[in-house]
Amino acid sequence: MRSAWGQQTGPDRATDAQVGPDLGISDMTTLLEMRDITKEFPGVKALDRVTLSVEQGEIHAICGENGAGKSTLMKVLSGVYPAGSYDGEIHYEGALAEFKSLSDSEARGIVIIHQELALVPQLSIAENIFLGNERATGGVIQWQETFRRTEALLAKVGLRDAPGTMVDSIGVGKQQLVEIAKALSKDVKLLILDEPTAALQENDSRKLLDLMLELKAQGVTCIIISHKLGEVRYVADTVTVIRDGATVSRLPAKGLEEDHIVRDMVGRDMTHRFPDRPRRAGEVLMEIENWNVWHPEHAERQVIHDIGFNVRAGEVVGIAGLMGSGRTELAMSIFGQSWGRNISGVARLHGKPVDLSRVDRAIAAGLAYVTEDRKSLGLILDETIRFNTTLANLEAVSTRGVLSEGQETEVAERYRKALATRTPSVMQQVGNLSGGNQQKVVLAKWLFAGPEVLILDEPTRGIDVGAKYEIYSIINDLSAQGKGVVMISSEMPELLGMCDRIYVMNEGAFVGELAAQDASQERIMSLIVNE
């Protein structure tokens, strides 16, 4: 049998390699060893004697649940957490390394690309690639050399855009390639990619993974952190699994089955990726008819074209489509017209027209919208869990306009327990939580608002399989309570596993509707490409 990425699977799965001094899997030269790395924060041991060994010229995957310690380990390696702030040793290129800063590790050829891209949208590709590393003589930037070197780097990563192209005019997939080109400009030896395909469609993801294989052929060693296990098996030579801040296993990727990785990640078998749910749709809760939306900045451009759909009580309705198809724009335009202009159409709840012209009116009508961008739009990261949980319904924790901290704490604690949010306290800053736990806080915020219809935009983006299962269970609980759920997702298996019906969207219009029993990835893609 073959996976979605063409990797052979089957009974030849390798057994777990033992964690310890004899971790070596190949005869290749060891480039990096991290020995007994321990990192503590106030009240939390993020890493507990973690061991990592990476061979020269391999692609090494690090897998684990959100909060397992993967990103923390990479911050230790790259000097974001400097030597002296952790216990243990890093050996790089055969010698003890004590990086005091990011520039220290970059000077040795270690470059990290974070999940949140560090590009300046208002600068060109060339300016971004050499930002902080300018090609200059006597303080004067040599633009001819800058553009020449940029063209060579872009050719290396397979990007054909001109060096002078503004970054905000290219898609996320191309921006990832710009980040890699920027890394290559620094004579990278060890490239670390943290969730590099989290925001990419399948085609862009495949191109990025193929580029990693090309870089490997050119002698660049890579570490990839990813929750997409099919991609891990496609690209990696070795997999290290971290759970609860400790190394669990180090495995050769060849022949490795996804279930094996999942079991090591979560500490239990997950026979079913999607929890069972009785499918009993009730009355129509929400109807949208003849919905049209124009671009907020380009008045001549219509983005949403005559869309109509409905959601029933207890039903999970999916919206499938490629990036740029208009799914998020549709969701935001419905939720208080928070995106778009010249919006027209009819919205009904329980058969009666409702005013969705402002966000507060949409909330009052019974709508909630969980944004795909939880960090920028869904949460206030430097505030506490308590603060964020009650933000959409402050009246419920106020008396005569005065907030009750006691009531806020009680509400936040109730949702922390109900959603199993992993945190020592509701006074924890949301920015310090893992992605999965941040998503639970966003859900808690909107559940406390008491909606009848929830629009979930990429609700599991960037979170691991264990946390995904917990989010799926929450969605099922909501449908069991008679709520209507609209689920937008770029992961078609997720839509197929969770939804009762799926609307297929392309270029701002619905091009098909499929019942769960009739839907497949092939039928969805056929509707998109043949509409």
Q: What is the pLDDT of residue 145?
A: 92
Spatial separation of the C-alpha atoms in residues 240 and 24, rounded to whole Å: 12
Range of the domain at 437: 380-449
Clarify whether residues 16 and 105 are in a common domain. Answer: yes
Q: What is the pLDDT of residue 466?
A: 74
Identity (one letter) of the amino acid at 324? G
Q: Is residue 28 part of a domain?
A: yes
Clarify whether residues 223 and 349 are in a common domain. Answer: no
Spatial separation of the C-alpha atoms in residues 442 and 432, rounded to whole Å: 14
Spatial separation of the C-alpha atoms in residues 95 and 216, rounded to whole Å: 23
Q: Is residue 274 part of a domain?
A: no
Q: What is the pLDDT of residue 12?
A: 33
Spatial separation of the C-alpha atoms in residues 265 and 233, rounded to whole Å: 15
Clarify whether residues 293 and 338 are in a common domain. Answer: yes
Q: Could you count the other beta carbons within 10 Å of the beta carbon of residue 89?
A: 14
Q: Among 388, 420, 449, which residue terminates a domain?
A: 449
Q: What is the pLDDT of residue 25?
A: 41
Q: Is residue 133 part of a domain?
A: yes
C-alpha of 383 from chain center: 21
Clarify whether residues 65 and 10 are in a common domain. Answer: yes
Q: What is the pLDDT of residue 299?
A: 83
Clarify whether residues 2 and 84 are in a common domain. Answer: yes
Clarify whether residues 233 and 214 are in a common domain. Answer: yes
Q: Among 158, 185, 212, which residue terminates a domain?
A: 185
Q: Is residue 422 part of a domain?
A: yes
Clarify whether residues 444 and 495 are in a common domain. Answer: no
If one counts the domains in the chain, the total is 4
Each of the 531 residues of the chain gets a pLDDT tens digit; together they read 333 343 433 333 333 333 333 333 444 699 999 999 999 887 678 899 999 999 999 999 999 876 788 889 999 999 999 999 999 999 999 999 999 999 999 999 999 888 777 889 899 999 999 998 888 888 888 999 999 999 999 988 888 889 999 998 887 778 888 888 888 888 889 999 988 887 676 777 888 899 899 999 989 999 999 878 888 889 999 999 998 889 999 999 888 888 888 888 877 655 567 888 877 888 999 999 999 999 988 888 899 999 999 999 999 999 998 777 899 999 999 999 999 999 999 999 999 999 999 999 999 999 999 988 888 788 999 999 999 999 999 999 999 889 999 999 999 999 999 888 888 899 999 988 877 788 889 999 999 999 999 999 988 877 777 778 888 998 999 999 999 999 999 888 889 999 999 999 998 999 999 998 899 888 888 888 765
50 Cβ neighbours under 8 A, 6+ residues apart: 34, 36, 37, 38, 69, 73, 88, 242, 245, 246, 247
* CATH number for 310: 3.40.50.300
Closest CA to 220 of 228, 229, 211: 211
Clarify whether residues 7 and 84 are in a common domain. Answer: yes
Clarify whether residues 129 and 60 are in a common domain. Answer: no
Q: Among 432, 449, 466, which residue terminates a domain?
A: 449
Clarify whether residues 179 and 76 are in a common domain. Answer: no
Q: What is the pLDDT of residue 199?
A: 67
Q: Is residue 372 part of a domain?
A: no
Q: Is residue 371 part of a domain?
A: no
Q: Is residue 404 part of a domain?
A: yes
Clarify whether residues 7 and 96 are in a common domain. Answer: yes
Instruction: Name the helix (H) or strand (E) containing 329.
Output: helix 327-334
Clarify whether residues 297 and 248 are in a common domain. Answer: no
Q: What is the pLDDT of residue 268?
A: 61
